[in-house]
Amino acid sequence: MSATTAHRVAVIGGDGIGPEVTAEALKVVRGAGVIIETTEFDLGGARYLRDGEILSDDTLSQLRAYDAILLGAVGTPEVPPGLIERGLLLRMRFELDLYVNQRPFSGTAPGSSRPHDFVVIRENTEGPYVGEGGVLRKGTPHEVATQGSVNSRMGVERACRYAFEMAMGRRQHLTLVHKTNVLTFAGDLWQRTFNAVAAEFPTVATAYNHVDAACIYFVQDPQRYDVIVTDNLFGDILTDLGGAVSGGIGLASSANLNPARTGPSMFEPVHGSAPDIVGTGKANPVAAILSAALMLDFLGETTAADRIRQACEQPVSGSTSDIGSQIAARVAG
Ligand code: IPM
Ligand code: MN
């Protein structure tokens, strides 16, 4: 990618600390010498309270024209939970076909003396997230609710293939995490699909963990992992745990990827909008900065991305903007 061509980035700062950490991420990207052209999109809980828009068809089609979307955090206590998450975040994941959620973890788990370094590839468009199911006899003692997990061969296969390709570029080890002993229908589809894709990557060693056992290994032996592939809900839960054993959620970054590149991919920290600390300068911008580094990887700016990751490994201190400035100064080449 030529350094003289500006990458067009749609910026959704969102709510709470979202705009604060996003501003620092952009400061660092520019500090690393990457030329970006940004457009702010005012979306999130605050926008919804103002005029009712969560994510209109028109806004969505504008977003499609960008090379990438950088998101801070969305959600505000005044809006009922789920509304913005489903209407904005999940809608973007589904409509832009962001079928891989890539979440890297490195650090040393509490009580451990050895560092770990692994990546979770979470399937991002299927599973229990699709909204399948319904409710009957609501409000009566006989109320029934179902919420199915939708798993397509195509959806599972593309997530597995992405994970195998990632493992090829790393330590060539991939673990499937599921619950095949209980979720026999979905688990069987995942296991067979994983095995079929594995045949295309004979040099990648494979393993399987049930998700409950994986929770123990995340805490007690995370060094065993290189790349993990798992379903949408297991991946959601496991990656919070991954953050907790890797220096905290303030460092956890994520990429919502459309590897087929039929539209922009979206990059966001794992943490939420933290309305309790908004405006205090206490928000750690490192997760947003590392998410921007994942964006640069995807835009082909891998040298700048690596420099940013190295800069984030050195100690940082001070306010949100102090930390952003320190890291920006380190990456200036
Ligand atoms: C995440 C978040 C989202 C998810 C919520 C906000 C819908 O927890 O990105 O991990 O469950 O995927
Ligand atoms: Mn989550």
DSSP 3-state assignment of 213? helix
Measured from the Cα of 75, ligand 1's closest atom is: 6
Whether 236 sits among the annotated catalytic residues: the reply is yes
CA–CA distance, 179 with 216 (Å, rounded to integer): 14
Give the residue, out of 79, 90, 268, with the most ligand 1 atoms within 8 A of its beta carbon, to mutate for a pocket test.
Answer: 90
Owner of token pair 């300068």: 281
Confirm whether 27 is a catalytic residue.
no
Check: CB of residue 22 under 8 Å from CB of residue 11. yes
Task: For residue 224, give the amino acid letter.
Answer: R
Neighbours of ion ligand 2 (CB under 5 A): 236
Handedness of CA 125, 8, 269, 315 (dihedral sign): positive
pLDDT for 277 equals 97
Phi/psi of residue 142, nearest 5 degrees = -100, 15
Is the distance from CB of 88 to CB of 27 less than 8 angstroms? no
Which amino acid residue places its CA nearest to atom 6 of ligand 1? 85
Question: What 3-state class would DSSP assign to 65?
Answer: coil
Q: Is the CB of 308 under 6 A from ligand 1?
A: no
Half-sphere exposure of 321 (CA within 13 A, CB side): 7
236 Cα to the center of ligand 2, angstroms: 4
Single pTM value for the model? 0.96
Q: Angle formed by the axes of helices 232-244 and 211-220, to 10°?
A: 20
- Tell me which residue has tokens 């490195």: 106
Pocket test for ligand 1, best of 236, 239, 266, 271 (most atoms within 8 A of CB): 236
Note if 138 is an active site residue: no
H-assigned helices in 86-208: 91-95, 153-168, 184-198
- Is the CB of 236 within 6 Å of ligand 1? yes
Mean pLDDT by groups of 10 residues along the chain of 333 residues: 79 98 98 98 97 98 98 95 94 98 97 97 98 98 98 98 98 98 98 98 98 98 98 97 95 98 97 95 97 98 98 96 98 86
Measured CA distances, 163 to 21, 122, 172, 196, 201 (Å): 29, 9, 10, 13, 11
pLDDT at residue number 333: 67
Token representation of residue 110: 């509490």
Instruction: Write out the E strands in the chain.
Output: 7-14, 36-40, 68-73, 100-107, 116-123, 133-136, 144-147, 173-178, 205-210, 227-230, 253-257, 265-269
Return the pLDDT at 5.
Answer: 85
- Choosing from 15, 55, 85, 237 the residue with most ligand 1 atoms within 8 A of its CB, the one to mutate for a pocket test is 85
Classify residue 113 as exposed, middle or buried by CB count within 10 Å of its CB (0-12, 13-18, 19+).
exposed
Residue 179 is a catalytic residue: yes
> What is the β-pairing status of strands 100-107 and 116-123?
antiparallel
For residue 101, the ligand 1 atom closest to its alpha carbon is: 9
On whether the CB atoms of residues 267 and 70 are closer than 8 A, the answer is yes
pLDDT at 4 (0 to 100):
67
Cα-trace Rg, the chain: 20
Give the number of the ligand closest to the Cα of residue 74: 1
Ligand closest in space to the Cα of 256: 1
What is the rounded distance in angstroms from the CA atom of residue 99 to the CA atom of residue 229? 12
Q: What is the pLDDT of residue 197?
A: 98
The finding on whether 89 has its CB within 6 A of some atom of ligand 1 is yes
270/291 Cα distance (integer angstroms): 9
